[in-house]
Amino acid sequence: MERESASLGGEPVSLNQTIFQGFEWYIPADHQHWIRLSQAMPSLASLGITSIWIPPATKAMRSTSEGYDAYDLYDLGEFERHGTKRTKYGDKRELVQLSEIANRHGVSILFDAILNHKMGADNTESVRAVKVDPEGMVLFMIKAWTKYDFPGRGEKYSSMKWNKDHFTGVDYDQKSKRNGVWRFQGKDWAHDVDEELTNYDFLLGQDIDHSHHEVREDLFNWVEWLSSQLRLGGLRLDAIKHFSASFLRDFVRHIDQNIDAGTDWFIVGEYWRADSKVLSAYIEYMNHRMSLFDVPLLTNFYNISKGILTDARRVFDGSLAAVKPKNAVTFVVNHDTQAGQSLEVFPILVSSLFFLRLLLPCTSSPDFLSLISYTDFRKTIIEPWFLPLAYSLILLRENFGIPCVFWADLYGTLEPTLPQPPPSNGIIIPRLILARKLWAYGTETLYFEDSPTCAGLTRAGHPSRSAGAGLAVVMNTGWTSSGKHMCVGKVHAGETWSDVLGQTWGEVIIDTDGMGYFRACPRSVSVWVHDAAEGRDEADSLVFDDGGYSAVQGAMDKIKLREPLNTMPAWLQSTTEA
């Protein structure tokens, strides 16, 4: 018996928080995703989802792109560009409707904000720039795509027109028709960014100069404006390792001081670094006001699933949630770690080595082989057999970060080369989410001591949730069946427990000391719960399928997505569709 948490006593406890990433990289470019999410909201809320991270809702360089090529932050699918008003996911009216429907179901919206760069400028400007190259730094006159006039929007919401003064560098010279990295004369990369590759300010596109007073003012105004347009519960901030930490701290402070209920916003940043010391230091710099995704834990999941780490007892070693549980967002998969995407191998793609080599200052010019040895190439694709085990660890533990469930693990993926249904045909992971909602409360005891392949934990339950029902989890990474003698509490003596996931047959009768022997089949996880627990019938019959889309057939759901919803807010019913 490794550790027992402090009891919560008899005071009521709040519902466990669970984030859902409401998209994958391969969402169809049908401009209907906001409606798709609106239709899914009742079932997601019923399952136990409390927050939904939506894809970038601002106008991108292309109407079919995923949104990370940000063009205009003030356009949520409202203004004409290249013959359309909609983003890949829909128009502003549908987005507003989604935020209203989510609010009614007690689900908060996390808005994906792209503040590092812009792409898709309206015109070029001549600018003197230094090409970043280990072979030498030469000053050029280039044509840079830095002029943003926003002709579709004009000056509505913001009068600022972006130009070369508002950027530090670009990745393309229109004059020479060449790719590369050019730093503008008189500008410098931000110094308070990640030190990977010496300085990792530049990522792509037109790199925003967050030290410029007009940029700061416009971004501060934008987030206030955004809060007036949508019902939001917080932000997901993209690529924060690539822009000024001091700016971001000021940005978050501005939210807290200038937005109604801004201090209640949940803010999580994407800082892709498998080093919990670095991530912890960043959280402390942000005065613990921000959370970060737990990349080190994901690394451990990968290593166990691939057999690189054979001792499952070390799964939490070095994780962010182990040292900053209140500021960690745990996850198993996201859109960037899907097959073929940018973080399938991290921290950088093998194919991007030459491009990233250009970012190194001349004063630290390592040769190509040095760069390869410096970079730690670890694939983050988790083996399918381990997905349920990983999800059980992030969903059912006590005070171990807030878990985030990925779209494809509920709805499947439309990945072009291999579309797939959800893991376990939509049975195991939805039941794990529901188990978190119903029974993952009360005293936690970990059983990680005696076996490198079999680990367990119990939650004793809490009187204010599901009439005090608890659970017992056994995770088995070995090739033979295994089990654990574990205590679930004397209050459960005499109860008959069985595996709610249906992975392991049989029953366990809890003895007078609150003990039972709980088993798991090879390379699987079992979650044991009282047969008569509140919510057990719902869990036993749950097969999650509310029609997100069929990944096997590659077809959209049968819902007529363009029909108005019966739950449409009254104040929107008179609004004509853009």
The 3-class secondary structure across 151-169, one letter per residue, is: CCCCCCCCCCCECHHHEEE
Lowest mean pLDDT among 273-277, 492-496, 508-512, 539-543: 539-543
Lowest mean pLDDT among 196-210, 322-336, 372-386: 372-386
336 domain residue, yes or no: yes
Instruction: Tell which of 390, 415, 434 closes a domain.
Output: 434
270 flagged as catalytic: yes
Which residue in 414, 447, 444, 412 sits closest to 429, CA to CA? 412
Position 352 scores a pLDDT of 39
578 domain residue, yes or no: no
Tens of pLDDT, residues 406-441: 999 999 988 888 788 888 888 999 999 999 999 999
CA–CA gap between residue 456 and residue 473 (Å, rounded): 5
Which residue in 62, 464, 51 sits closest to 267, CA to CA? 51
* Whether residue 231 sits in one domain with residue 176: no
552 domain residue, yes or no: no
CA–CA gap between residue 561 and residue 273 (Å, rounded): 39
Mean pLDDT of 120-124: 98
Among the listed residues 94, 238, 294, 545, the single catalytic one is: 238
* Whether residue 501 sits in one domain with residue 464: yes
CA–CA gap between residue 259 and residue 228 (Å, rounded): 9
Mean pLDDT of 339-368: 42
* Whether residue 341 sits in one domain with residue 357: no
**Mean predicted lDDT score pLDDT of the chain:** 87
Tens of pLDDT, residues 259-270: 998 899 999 999
* Whether residue 344 sits in one domain with residue 265: yes
Percent of the chain exceeding pLDDT 90 equals 76
Position 343 scores a pLDDT of 60
Token representation of residue 453:
């392949």
Position 308 scores a pLDDT of 93
469, 530 contact by CB (below 8 A) = yes
State the residue range of the domain holding 270.
14-116+212-350+380-434
Mean pLDDT of 195-218: 90
Please report, for the domain that includes residue 202, its CATH number.
2.40.30.140
Task: Say whether pLDDT at 347 is over 60.
Answer: no
Task: Say whether pLDDT at 357 is over 60.
Answer: no
CA–CA gap between residue 429 and residue 389 (Å, rounded): 10
Tell me the one-letter amino acid at 469. A
* Whether residue 293 sits in one domain with residue 230: yes
Position 189 scores a pLDDT of 93
Orientation of helix 33-47 relative to helix 428-439, angle to 10°: 50
Token representation of residue 5:
């948490």
Position 4 scores a pLDDT of 43
190, 202 contact by CB (below 8 A) = no
Token representation of residue 528:
């044991």
Position 425 scores a pLDDT of 83
Q: How confident is the model at residue 544 (pLDDT cuts 50, 70, 90)?
A: confident
Helix H, strand E, coil C: the string for 319-351 is CHHHHCHHHEEEECCCHHHCCCCCCCEECCCHH
Token representation of residue 272:
């892709």
Percent of the chain exceeding pLDDT 70 equals 84
Position 102 scores a pLDDT of 98
* Whether residue 475 sits in one domain with residue 506: yes
Task: Say whether pLDDT at 346 is over 90.
Answer: no
Position 378 scores a pLDDT of 39
* Whether residue 339 sits in one domain with residue 218: yes
Please report, for the domain that includes residue 491, its CATH number.
2.60.40.1180
Mean pLDDT of 215-244: 97
Strand runs labelled E in 205-263: 206-208, 234-237
141 domain residue, yes or no: yes
Task: Say whether pLDDT at 553 is over 50.
Answer: no
Domain total for the chain? 3
Q: How confident is the model at residue 532 (pLDDT cuts 50, 70, 90)?
A: very high
How many Cβ atoms from other residues are within 10 Å of residue 491's Cβ? 14
User: In this predicted model, which residue has the larger pLDDT, 483 or 366?
Assistant: 483
Position 554 scores a pLDDT of 37
* Whether residue 110 sits in one domain with residue 42: yes
238 flagged as catalytic: yes
User: In this predicted model, which residue has the larger pLDDT, 201 or 512?
Assistant: 512
501, 526 contact by CB (below 8 A) = yes
Position 365 scores a pLDDT of 31
Task: Say whether pLDDT at 392 is over 70.
Answer: yes
* Whether residue 227 sits in one domain with residue 280: yes
503 domain residue, yes or no: yes
24, 412 contact by CB (below 8 A) = no
6 domain residue, yes or no: no
Displacement of CA 161 from its chain's centroid (Å): 31
* Whether residue 162 sits in one domain with residue 90: no
Mean pLDDT of 234-247: 96
Task: Say whether pLDDT at 257 is over 50.
Answer: yes
Position 153 scores a pLDDT of 98
Which residue in 521, 539, 517 sits closest to 508, CA to CA? 517
Task: Say whether pLDDT at 545 is over 80.
Answer: no
Lowest mean pLDDT among 20-34, 331-345, 455-469: 331-345
Mean pLDDT of 223-227: 98
Please report, for the domain that includes residue 71, its CATH number.
3.20.20.80
What burial letters (b/e) apply to 310-336, b meaning 16+ CB within 10 Å?
eebbebbeebbbbebbebbbbbbbbbe
Task: Say whether pLDDT at 46 is over 80.
Answer: yes
Mean pLDDT of 73-87: 95
3 domain residue, yes or no: no
75, 58 contact by CB (below 8 A) = yes
51, 17 contact by CB (below 8 A) = yes
Place of tokens 């919206």: 109
Tens of pLDDT, residues 126-172: 999 999 876 667 889 999 999 999 999 999 999 999 999 999 999 99
* Whether residue 393 sits in one domain with residue 475: no
Among the listed residues 94, 196, 270, 545, the single catalytic one is: 270
Reported as type and span, the H/E element at residue 12 is: none
Position 416 scores a pLDDT of 82
Instruction: Tell which of 434, 451, 468 closes a domain.
Output: 434
Position 496 scores a pLDDT of 99
Position 547 scores a pLDDT of 58
545 domain residue, yes or no: no
Task: Say whether pLDDT at 24 is over 50.
Answer: yes
How many Cβ atoms from other residues are within 10 Å of residue 524's Cβ? 21
Position 380 scores a pLDDT of 52
Position 9 scores a pLDDT of 54
Task: Say whether pLDDT at 561 is over 60.
Answer: no
pTM as predicted: 0.89
* Whether residue 471 sits in one domain with residue 339: no
How many Cβ atoms from other residues are within 10 Å of residue 352's Cβ? 12
Long-range contacts, stretch 215-222, CB < 8 angstroms, 24+ apart: 215/166, 216/247, 216/250, 218/158, 218/160, 219/73, 219/115, 219/251, 220/251, 220/254, 220/258, 221/158, 222/73, 222/74, 222/158
Which residue in 282, 376, 267, 363 sits closest to 320, CA to CA? 282
